[in-house]
């Protein structure tokens, strides 16, 4: 089946960047992303998208923490002893 999609410029740039960085062609990357996204059931898919968008919005506002801070919070929250 042939399908033509018009992507927003930022999304196309990300897709091309991923293809170049992994040495794969852009079609293979697009198919992998679509397959991954479609593997979720509807509620999980949209919850994941909302969580990702929330994280990106926080990052754009400069609201993020270091990996070490994240690991410390997870250790405290779940009684773990992970190290960075």
Instruction: Give the residue extent of every domain in the chain.
Output: 9-78
Say what the pTM is: 0.51
Which two tokens mark 27? 């079609």
Interval 3-42: pLDDT, tens: 898 999 999 999 999 999 999 999 999 999 889 888 888 8
pLDDT at res. 64: 83
Handedness of CA 64, 76, 53, 12 (dihedral sign): positive
């Amino acid at each position: 089946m042939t399908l033509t999609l018009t992507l927003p410029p930022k999304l196309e740039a990300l897709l091309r960047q991923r293809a170049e960085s992994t040495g794969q062609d852009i079609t293979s990357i697009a198919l992998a992303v679509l397959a991954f996204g479609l593997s979720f059931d509807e509620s999980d898919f949209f919850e994941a998208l909302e969580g990702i968008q929330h994280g990106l919005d926080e990052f754009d506002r400069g609201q993020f923490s270091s990996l070490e801070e994240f690991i410390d919070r997870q250790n405290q929250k779940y009684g773990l002893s992970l190290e960075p």
